């Protein structure tokens, strides 16, 4: 059995597999080249100049995407924003019960604390580190 991996013009591995013999032109994925050997598609890219798999640098914590042109991890701001908005919406939904007239009566002096918390959630987009670094407000006890 022969291990192989398809890679694109940037060196990103697209697919791996095994075959009984080298692949023919008909077996090739359009726009791809093939490397014969074992690769780890999750943490390697293909160095086209030397025709070898290269281990990617360690991925930083958070929302990073590997740039196959520069060969470095870059912050994925769109994903970071999506995750921040999703978390904010979840936290607002969990506290929706506090935003009613009957809750105002039941909560008494805590009503304003909850309203301040909810406003702080809405205001996360104005923080200087948004969407990478967010100081999430503390949920009232």
Interval 17-29 mean pLDDT: 89
Supply the DSSP string of 55-100, one letter for each residue. EPPPPPSSSEEEETTTTEEEE-HHHHHHHHHHHHHHHHHHTGGGSS
Mean pLDDT rounded to a whole number for the chain: 93
With 0.85 as the threshold, say if the pTM is over it. Answer: no
Domain chopping of the chain, boundaries: 2-75, 77-126
Question: Tell me: the pLDDT tens digits for 51-83?
Answer: 999 999 999 988 899 999 999 999 999 999 999
pLDDT band at 4 (very low <50, low <70, confident <90, very high): very high
Helices then strands (H, E): number in the chain?
Answer: 3, 7
């Amino acid at each position: 059995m022969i291990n192989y991996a398809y890679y694109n013009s940037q060196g990103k591995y697209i697919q791996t597999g095994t075959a009984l013999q080298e692949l023919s032109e008909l077996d090739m994925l359009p726009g791809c080249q093939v490397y014969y050997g074992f690769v780890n598609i999750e943490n390697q890219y293909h160095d086209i100049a030397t025709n070898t798999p290269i281990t990617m640098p360690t991925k930083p914590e958070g929302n990073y995407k590997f740039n196959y042109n520069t060969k470095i991890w870059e912050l994925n701001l769109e994903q970071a924003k999506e995750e921040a908005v999703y978390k904010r919406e979840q936290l607002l939904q969990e506290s929706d019960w506090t935003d009613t007239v009957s809750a105002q009566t039941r909560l008494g002096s805590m009503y304003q604390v909850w309203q301040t918390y909810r406003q702080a959630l809405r205001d996360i987009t104005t923080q200087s580190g948004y969407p990478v670094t967010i100081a999430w407000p503390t949920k009232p006890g």
